[in-house]
Structure 1
Amino acid sequence: MANVSGSPEESIVLKEEQMKKAFSLSSKAHKSPDKLYLVEKIRSNNRSSSSEVIISFSGFGSVKDWFSETPFGETKINLNLFPSLKSVGNNEVALVNKAFLNRFEAVLGKSSFVAEVDQAMTKHKQIVFTGHSSGAAVAILATLWALDKYITPNTNRIPPLCVTFGSPLVGNHIFSHATRREKWSAYFTHFVMKYDIVPRLLLAPLSSFEQRFDPVLQFFNPKSKYFMDESIGNYSVTSEFYMAVMTNAAKTTSHAACKLMGSKNAMPDMLANFITLSPYRPFGTYIFCTGKGQMIGIRNPHAALQLLFFSAQVSTKAEAAHIAYKCLKEHVIYDDELKESLAMQNVVWLDQIEKLPLSADESDGNIAAINMALNDLGLTLRARMCLRAAGELEKQKARNEEKFDKKKFMRCLKEVEEYKANKTKRVEDVDTSKMENYRNDFQSGVLNGFEMASVWDEIIEMLRRYELPDEFESKPEWIELGTKYRRLVEPSEIAKFYHYGKNLDSGPYMGKGRPKRHRYTQRWQEHAEKKAEGACSETCFWAEVEEFRIRTRNYTSFEDVKEEVLKVEREIKRLSDEGVITKDVFVESSTFVKWWKSLPHYHKEGSCIRNFINV
């Protein structure tokens, strides 16, 4: 496939031959609804064993197989199966279509399926998950499951690929956010016909077309006597179905477009409070087939959403007369379209979409090929503006990250570390230090600490609003900075929190007292190291110590609390030996040291942390 726009290294990872084989097997699976999946092993010319394994999932036909319980059929993803499908810092779990998730879990319940995937992964074979229609939704979930289960930084296994044909949307914006963060997006390729209604279907609630949905599913079902029956595809039946889907799609895409363009008008958000908008969003790479042998590729998920809506609009009255049947027929004719498109060997990639031509008549250089493709999709000026806005949003996210100087951050961390070391040596006081004699220390230490806290708070607020690149929380340099900052600063913040009695107003530190900057950076580290939630909470240990101190400060007999005291001391020594905590937390005026000094003399003399505290 030619790469008209975009650099070669960003080209689609799916090979043409893989795509052909994937479509062939997906067609077979779609015609075999009695089987959950089909497997085909491909041998290369110079090998005796298979080098590729293609697994295709069958579609399913009843209404309950598409929607479940809620208006859009969504539910929270099962993090036990898909631990990466969340926003790490925000701790926001992805939403997924419940019916599709149930179907995948049924597949996963087959030991033969798990054994097939496990064997292919262990033998370093390329797996391609594929499917058509609702079978494509299962292929998407299977790929995400395999990526999470088998692909880690320390393994050299081949990541699975996913190629879908006429796939419905599967999950909300977290799917796109998480796959881009994990660098998985390039493994997903979705082929969509210009008018195919199924990729747009879940942008509308079931209630808007429920009475017309079962006949439509019969039209799609190869086993039904109404398969591609023109009596079902007549204008009066499916025009209402098409209008119901696209009217609701317009609400969702228009609201998204207002966000893309940074609209200050509060009306879209007000309307969203009264109109239930679809949670589903595209992710991965989309290949739009124009119906004229041309294919258009796009990787920006916000732009893909806009294209799903704008490319399926009718441009003439004559076209409108045929759209009812066309929106159904195109869902089942991918074979013909792909053969024609592959024969042309050409894909126009819309990568620098912030620079797309607004005029349909521009014809300079590469612009001619791009404009021809956009015209084939029937994109209006408004559509092109929405695509530009989607591209500009990604550029703005990158500019937002560039505001934060990582090198300056490292210098500030070093100066704060030196300041704390010096204060420990000079006055042994981080709670109520007398700063007037140490102005240079104050400038480089305390003020830098305040500045860093302010910067981190700004970063966290941007992350909360998804205004930084999706990859931000997975970048090693930011994870390292966040971990160093948390370990350096949080113990002292905890000490001050209890020293000044803030717990009396807001409750324990680990409740409402802990800043988001520490919560977020801890989650980054845990996610990067594939650890359970709370596994990297070593800096929070001091909050537990303070709460323990409060609970036991009025003990009647030391023997009653001795075992708990010994446990706390052993943990403190372990953390100190590992370099997680520094000596500044043992200063004279800290609440912990004051409490520890109140313990019996005979215990302190034999304590494992005796050398940490100046008795």
Structure 2
Amino acid sequence: KQGEDALLQAMEKRHRSEWKKPTHNSKKLNNMKMKMAQLEWFMKFCEKGGCNYYDYYKRPENSGRENVNVWTDIKTFLVDYWKKEVNKVENKPQTQDAQFRDRWLFGGNNYRRMVEPLHIAEYYTKGGTDYLNRREAHFAKLEGWEQADSAKEEKKGDAPKKEEPKGKSAAPNVTHDSCFWARVEEAALKLPELEKGGEGKIRQELREFEDYVMKLVNDYWLSPDAFFEGSSFMVWWRRYWEMLQRVEPDSDRDSRPFIVFMSKDGYLNYVNSA
């Protein structure tokens, strides 16, 4: 524990000193890469502790506000860097070769998948709702450019080059959809209505969420740490399953792929195979 705290303090001291330095573009690029490496270390640190980094960041009482502040500063640096990068591309389209553009876009979307969940955690901790319709523009633009490039590759008959590869070769413990946790939070907000009996619209939206999760699972695009006990997703699932047994006693729930996957502990096999 003391060693971890010392490392966090050293990283914070170094980060704050760099934040104040005027830097050239090459230095900013190197700083960005260092922050991404630190964030990846943070994710692995959380995983070893049996917690996903979304919930670790969202619940500072588990780790101490000072520790979370380190990652908030790193997140702030990265968001500022990539906002400016996206703005530059919009105002002055890149003239570099395709290989450079591919690397740039891959880096931007790797950033999006790692950092947007932290942004979502802050948003809902502050009482926000409906994140998907209030999402910061630069996240959406990075995702849109990636999807457009993938569509072009598919149209040409080539395998998409811009998306992360499926399965174990993907970036470590990064869920493909950077808005996954926003969808979890929105599903959780629907549970009080379901408990009251739930209108058809609420039930339909929750079933759509079930299908969405199963698609991520089937594509191996959902980080296994979403299934760590005590995560926001697992808290939602426990409540949802308990409610379903009361409000849908004679439904088709036991044949739905998601319900079978979760209630029969199929998710444990998914975690163990990662």
TM bin, normalised by shorter chain, reads 0.5 to 0.7
Task: Classify 1:499/1:436 alpha carbon distance in 2 versus 1 (closer, same or farther; 3 Å).
Answer: closer
Kept after mapping to 2: 8 A contact 1:483/1:522: yes
Task: Classify 1:576/1:584 alpha carbon distance in 2 versus 1 (closer, same or farther; 3 Å).
Answer: same
1:496-541 deviations in Å (ceiling 9; x for gaps): 42243122xxxx21222x1222112112212322359xxx883334
Q: Say whether 1:550 aligns with 2:189.
A: yes
Kept after mapping to 2: 8 A contact 1:495/1:585: no
2:160 aligns to what?
none
1:257-276 deviations in Å (ceiling 9; x for gaps): xxxxxxxxxxxxxxxxxxxx
> Does the residue aligned with 1:530 lie in a helix, a strand or coil?
helix
Mapped to 2, the partners of 1:442 and 1:577 lie a distance apart of 36
Q: Say whether 1:597 aligns with 2:224.
A: no
| TM score, norm. by length of structure 2 | 0.56
Aligned equivalent of 2:43, options 420, 438, 454: 420
1:539 aligns to what?
178
> Does the residue aligned with 1:538 lie in a helix, a strand or coil?
coil
Compute the displacement of 1:550 (Å). Answer: 2.6
Compute the displacement of 1:554 (Å). Answer: 1.6
Compute the displacement of 1:461 (Å). Answer: 3.1
Mapped to 2, the partners of 1:459 and 1:450 lie a distance apart of 14
Task: Classify 1:568/1:511 alpha carbon distance in 2 versus 1 (closer, same or farther; 3 Å).
Answer: closer
1:457-502 deviations in Å (ceiling 9; x for gaps): 2223333433x74448971111110121112222343244224312
Q: Which amino acid aligns with 1:455?
A: Y
1:267-320 deviations in Å (ceiling 9; x for gaps): xxxxxxxxxxxxxxxxxxxxxxxxxxxxxxxxxxxxxxxxxxxxxxxxxxxxxx
Task: Classify 1:448/1:475 alpha carbon distance in 2 versus 1 (closer, same or farther; 3 Å).
Answer: same
Task: Classify 1:401/1:410 alpha carbon distance in 2 versus 1 (closer, same or farther; 3 Å).
Answer: closer
Aligned-residue CA RMSD in angstroms? 4.1
Q: Which amino acid aligns with 1:580?
A: W
Mapped to 1, the partners of 2:36 and 2:109 lie a distance apart of 11
Task: Write out aligned runs for 1:288-307 (5 A).
Answer: none
> Does the residue aligned with 1:501 lie in a helix, a strand or coil?
coil
Task: Write out aligned runs for 1:218-237 (5 A).
Answer: none
| TM score, norm. by length of structure 1 | 0.28
Compute the displacement of 1:427 (Å). Answer: 6.6
Mapped to 2, the partners of 1:565 and 1:459 lie a distance apart of 36
1:302-352 deviations in Å (ceiling 9; x for gaps): xxxxxxxxxxxxxxxxxxxxxxxxxxxxxxxxxxxxxxxxxxxxxxxxxxx
Mapped to 1, the partners of 2:146 and 2:139 lie a distance apart of 11
Q: Which amino acid aligns with 2:238?
A: K
Q: How many aligned positions are there?
A: 203
Kept after mapping to 2: 8 A contact 1:570/1:608: no
Mapped to 2, the partners of 1:500 and 1:590 lie a distance apart of 18
Q: Say whether 1:575 aligns with 2:201.
A: no
Task: Write out aligned runs for 1:98-177 (5 A).
Answer: none
Identity %: 19
2:264 aligns to what?
606
1:580-604 deviations in Å (ceiling 9; x for gaps): 3424545666654433221234655
Structure 1's unaligned 5+ residue stretches are 1-399
Structure 2's unaligned 5+ residue stretches are 1-23, 155-162, 164-175, 246-258
Mapped to 2, the partners of 1:431 and 1:529 lie a distance apart of 32
Aligned equivalent of 1:518, options 116, 126, 139: 139
Mapped to 1, the partners of 2:146 and 2:110 lie a distance apart of 11
Mapped to 1, the partners of 2:226 and 2:69 lie a distance apart of 18
